[in-house]
Chains A and B, each alone.
Chain A
Amino acid sequence: MSEISAPNGFTLRQYLICLSGVVWREGLRFLHQRERFVSALVRPLVWLFIFAAGFRQVLGVSIIPPYETYVLYEVYIAPGLMAMIQLFNGMQSSLSMVYDREMGNMRTLLVSPFPRWFLLGSKLLAGVAVSILQVYAFLLIAYFWEIEPPTKWGYLTVLPALALSGLMLGALGMLLSSLIKQLENFAGVMNFVIFPMFFASSALYPLWRVKESSPWLYYVCEVNPFTHAVELIRFAFYEKVAWPSLAIVFAYTSAFLVAAILAYDTARGMLMRRGG
C-alpha cells in the first residue's frame, strides 16, 4: 500500500521540483498573456520617451551619488522605471492571487502537501523571476536610447538588487492579496498603493529637491519602501551598494513576508474570515 511505503518528508530534490513547477507555470501564464508583457513594457517606455523627454529641460539633476557627472533626466529616472515595472508586477501577481482564489486555482496550490510558507515563497519567487525578465527587456530597449550602466558589469550587479526589490514588492502584493476580499477592491489598491508609492519616492525626482519644497513630503518619501528599492537599483546599476537602502529594503521584505505568510496561515489567516 502506497500510504504506508510513502516517506513522510520530501527530499530536497522534490522541493526543487515543486519550486520550479510553480515558476514554470507562472512563466507559461506570462507567455500566454502577451498583452500583459506588452503593457508591462509600454508603461515605462512611455515615461521614458515622453515624460522624460518633455521634462528634461525643466528638471535638471545635479551631481548626486552614484552619478559622477551630470546625467540626463532619462538616465536619472531609469532605475525608478525598473522599480515601477516590479511594482506593477508585484501588484499584478497579487491580483492574480485574488483571481486564483476566487476561481479556485489558489486552492490547488494550497492543498499541496508542501509547507504553506514554501508554496507561497515559490509563488513569490515565480513572480520575481517574471518581473526581472520584464526589467531586462526594458533595459534592452533603453540601451538604444543610450541608457546604460557605466560598464557592462552594471547589468549583472543590478540583478541582486532587482531580486531583492522584486521580493519586497511581491511580498507586499501578496500581503495585500490576503487582505483583499474580492476582485473589485483591487482598483482601490491601484489608486491607494501604486500611485502614492511611485510618486512619493525618489523615482522621478531626487529627494533633496522634495525636501526643498516640502519637508513633510520628504519624510514620507524617506519611509516609503519604494524609494529604497529605487535607490538600491540605482546604485547597483552603477556597481555600487546603497547600504542604508539595502538594510531598509531587507527589513521591509522580511516584515511583508512574515505578515503575508501569517495572513495565509490556516490557523490565524484572513482566509478564515471568508465564508464558503
Chain B
Amino acid sequence: MTPALMIKDVSHSYGARKALDDVSFSVPPGSFTVLLGLNGAGKSTLFSLITRLYAARHGEIEIFGHNVMRQPGVALRRLGVVFQARTLDLELSVMQNLIYHAALHGIGPLEARRLGQAALSSAGLADRAHDKARALSGGQMRRVEIARALLHEPRLLLLDEPTVGLDIKARADLLALVRGLVQEQGLGVLWATHLIDEIADDDQVVILHQGKVLATDRAQAIIAEHGATNIGDAFTRIAGVAQEKLSA
C-alpha cells in the first residue's frame, strides 16, 4: 500500500549546521504516527521540507506517492497542516478564515461555507463561526486550525507541536479529536511532539534526535526492545538524555 507520507534519506543543513541527517520513515494511511523529539531535534525543519517551504535537496519526500518537489501541486492538495505558530488571521471571523483557506485550494465560497460549517461542527465550534478569531481561546484556535487543515479533505494531516501552550484539558481534547479522525475517517496523521504523555502504546513512533532517526516502530515494541518501563524511559536509553525534558 502506498504510504501517506514517505521520507527517504532526507538531509538538510543551515550553513554548516546539519539539522537533518539521512532521515527516513513513513506514515501509513489511517495511522497515528508520533514524531518524538526534543526542541531543536529537527521536527520543524522536517515539516518545512514536507510542506515545501524549503527545498528538499537531499533525499525524497512523497505524499501518497507524489514527490513534493517534482509534483508539488498534486502532493500538497493531499496534505493538511497545522503549524506550530498560530496562523489564523485574528482580524477575520472564524468562517472568513475558513473561506480564505478554501480559496487557496480552489474551493468557492458557497462550498466553503458548507464544508466550513460541517468542519466546525465536528470540532465542536459550530456556534463560533461568526466570532472573530481573536475572541477564541488557545485550544479553540487550535481546533479551528485543525478544521481548516481538513477543509479540502486531505488524507494526510501534519501537526507540529499542536498542544504547546494549551492547558491539560485542551490538550486532551485536541488529542482525542485527532485520534478520532484517524479512527473514523482513516486519516494518516503525523503528530510532532516532545511530550511523551501524548503517546499511546499502539502508536507508531519515530524518535528524532539531533537530526537523526534513532528508532521507528510501535511504541510498545520500542519499549520492549530496550527493556524500558515506558516510552520516556526508552527515549532516555536510546538518546541518552534526561527524561524530564520530555514532560515539560
Contact = CB atoms under 8 A, between A and B. Distances in A.
A191 B248 CA distance: 44
Given A28-B96, A113-B73, A266 B104 contact: no
B52 A266 contact: yes
B32 to A, nearest CB: 19
Interface string B30-62: 000000000000001100100111110100000
B73 A115 contact: yes
A104 B76 contact: no
A59 B96 CA distance: 50
Contacts, number: 115
A20 B102 CA distance: 11
Contacts of B57: 267
Nearest to A105: B87
Interface stretch (A8-16, A39-47, A61-69): A8-16
A111 B68 CA distance: 11
Contact of A25 (B53, B72, B89): B89
A22 interface: yes
Most B CB within 10 A of own CB, among A1, A113, A114: A113
A248 interface: no
Contact of B55 (A8, A267, A276): A267
Contacts of A8: 71, 73-74
A213 interface: no
A15 B14 CA distance: 34
Contact of B107 (A17, A22, A267): A17
Contact of B74 (A11, A14, A113): A113
A276 B85 CA distance: 11
Contacts of A22: 100, 103-104
A17 B99 CA distance: 10
Contacts of A29: 89, 91-92
A15 B96 CA distance: 19
Nearest to B158: A111
Contacts of A273: 14
Contacts of A24: 99-100, 103
B138 to A, nearest CB: 14
Given A104-B87, A107-B53, A21 B100 contact: yes
B227 interface: no
B10 interface: no
Interface string B89-124: 101100010011111111111000000000000000
A17 B106 CA distance: 6
B25 interface: no
B53, B64, B81, B104: residue with the most chain A Cβ atoms closer than 10 Å: B104
5 contacts: A18-B105, A21-B103, A25-B96, A111-B81, A276-B45
Given A3-B155, A24-B99, A28-B91, 17 more contacts: A8-B73, A11-B106, A18-B103, A18-B104, A21-B100, A21-B109, A22-B100, A28-B96, A29-B91, A103-B85, A105-B87, A108-B101, A110-B53, A112-B76, A112-B105, A266-B54, A276-B44
